[in-house]
Structure 1
Amino acid sequence: MTGSPTAVPAPEPVIEFRRVGLTYPGPPPVEALRPCDLTVRRGEFVAVVGPSGSGKSTFLNIAGLLDAPTDGMYLLDGIDTGTLRDADRTALRGRRIGFVFQSFHLLPQRSALENVMLALVYNGTSRRERPERARRALEQVGLGHRVDALPTRMSGGERQRVAVARALVTRPSLLLCDEPTGNLDTANADSVLALLEQLHEDGMTVLVITHDPLVAARAKRTVTIRDGVLSSSGPATREVAR
């Protein structure tokens, strides 16, 4: 006689918002993000979608530990970020979050390898370890053959891949992407999105902030934000791209 199947526990939360909100002081005060709850678990690929001015940037700044909420509690990997001093928040951000922005923010006179290595300068990685870790990160994004190339000699898609490698090299818990295809043509955008899908399949937690429904459709779950309100959360579907 066989017993009942054992339930598989859900992955641990990476992001947990508990009535998190942010109000800028006035007069009059501006409620940029209204108190909301949100959980993003390890290994998820989530898109936060909304038009310009909807509150996406505020959400990004809170999730990325760039701004502190004025309401509620934000736990990152189970750590109550509201109890941390500024220096500890900065250190936590550097260890646990990898950022990918619309603008690549690469140094034009530094090679791809050097640009990726820069992310390791302030996190305690020894000088000896940095080149090999940066090389492995570039190989992870398919640019092992371009380690010595300058950004000025790379396509937009390649430059964004270098930026992704720089975000990954610190081995973060969360890859936080802000309009990662906004400066790319269709072919390069598709290549970068395919890379994010592969990283998700390999176990990385990916959170993409976008106004583009075609980008959101590549995620496994979407959250909609409008007028500072997280209004819906559910599985991503291709219908969102219509």
Structure 2
Amino acid sequence: MTSVPLVPDIPAPPVIALRGVGLTYPGPPPVHALRPCDLVVRRGEFVTIIGPSGAGKSTFLNIIGLLDRHTSGTYELDGTDTGPLRDGDRTALRGRRVGFVFQSFHLLPHRTTCENVALALVYRGVGRRERMARAEQALRQVGLGARIHALPTTLSGGERQRVAIARALVGNPSLLLCDEPTGNLDTATADSILELIDELHRSGMTVLVITHDPAVALRGDRTLEIRDGLMTDRVAA
């Protein structure tokens, strides 16, 4: 009888792995927008980030989303070291792995909801028929199956944010980055959007939310605070 060698389970790399990552703008005097920090975010985690205006939250998000380059340390996204990547490779990695949701919806007013969502796939070489089919599926996922052909100007604020979330999800990203996703919404609408983000997290999505609202921050598995460019873990503090 031939024995079958056991193959050990190899854990997937973390979605985010920062080691000494910081960003300093040259002076004089130099500005430490984000001081060197370490962070690991595992697949399926929900992490919230709080801090006052100008503390470095947006700088952190831009680094994680590959919009800005860090000036120190190492940042791995899904196991890929992002530091040596050329601009085109960074753009491609961002398009495959990261979905963005902003406070402003950034929807084209004369395109339908489905067309707005499908635009996220244009530069990934996806054919039009598949783009539209995937956009429709993403809209159904966020509860807008009946609004596929609507124009953004006919939607409520909450519906427009759901379209923006569908656009972030249509590329099947590893990471959903949300920057004040309820900042332009009334309380009831904001709650419905947060419930949707909770549902996405429960389905396995890795979520990172930047917020100024302590109540929103409490929805995460853990909360980080950024103040004067320095990041600390509130759970560990």
TM-score, with structure 1 as normaliser: 0.92
Q: Which residue of 2 aligns with 1:84?
A: 85
- Structure 1 residue ranges, 4+ long, deviating more than 3 angstroms after superposition: 8-12
**In 2, Cα distance between the equivalents of 1:180 and 1:73?**
28
Q: Give CA deviations for 1:18-39 in whole Å, capped at 9, x if unaligned.
A: 0000000111100110000001
**In 2, Cα distance between the equivalents of 1:70 and 1:122?**
28
Note the C-alpha offset of 1:10: 6.6
**In 1, Cα distance between the equivalents of 2:221 and 2:130?**
35
Note the C-alpha offset of 1:109: 1.0
**In 2, Cα distance between the equivalents of 1:181 and 1:10?**
34
- Using the aligned pairs only, state the percent identity: 71
Counterpart secondary structure, 1:203: coil
The one-letter amino acid of 1:143's match is L
Counterpart secondary structure, 1:13: coil
Q: Which residue of 1 aligns with 2:36?
A: 35
1:219-238 pair list within 5 angstroms:
219-234=220-235
The one-letter amino acid of 2:200's match is L
Distance 1:107 1:174, change over 3 A: same
Note the C-alpha offset of 1:154: 0.6
The one-letter amino acid of 2:18's match is F
Q: Give CA deviations for 1:36-66 in whole Å, capped at 9, x if unaligned.
A: 0001110011101111011001101100000
Q: Which residue of 2 aligns with 1:69?
A: 70
Q: Which residue of 1 aligns with 2:94?
A: 93
The alignment covers a number of residue pairs equal to 228
**In 1, Cα distance between the equivalents of 2:24 and 2:65?**
17
- Flag structure 2 segments of 5+ consecutive residues without an equivalent: 1-8
**In 2, Cα distance between the equivalents of 1:80 and 1:106?**
32
The one-letter amino acid of 2:142's match is V
Q: Which residue of 1 aligns with 2:61?
A: 60
**In 2, Cα distance between the equivalents of 1:185 and 1:218?**
18
Counterpart secondary structure, 1:82: coil
1:203-218 pair list within 5 angstroms:
203-218=204-219
- When the two chains are superposed, the root-mean-square deviation of aligned CA atoms in Å is 1.3
Q: Give CA deviations for 1:181-210 in whole Å, capped at 9, x if unaligned.
A: 000000110000000000000000000011
Counterpart secondary structure, 1:19: strand
Q: Which residue of 2 aligns with 1:45?
A: 46
- Flag structure 1 segments of 5+ consecutive residues without an equivalent: 1-7, 236-242
**In 2, Cα distance between the equivalents of 1:27 and 1:90?**
31
The one-letter amino acid of 1:204's match is M
Q: Which residue of 1 aligns with 2:111?
A: 110
Note the C-alpha offset of 1:234: 2.2
**In 2, Cα distance between the equivalents of 1:173 and 1:40?**
11
Note the C-alpha offset of 1:164: 0.2
The one-letter amino acid of 1:19's match is G
**In 1, Cα distance between the equivalents of 2:187 and 2:133?**
32
Counterpart secondary structure, 1:17: strand
Note the C-alpha offset of 1:12: 3.3
The one-letter amino acid of 1:164's match is I
**In 1, Cα distance between the equivalents of 2:176 and 2:235?**
20
**In 2, Cα distance between the equivalents of 1:192 and 1:10?**
32
Q: Which residue of 1 aligns with 2:129?
A: 128
TM-score, with structure 2 as normaliser: 0.93
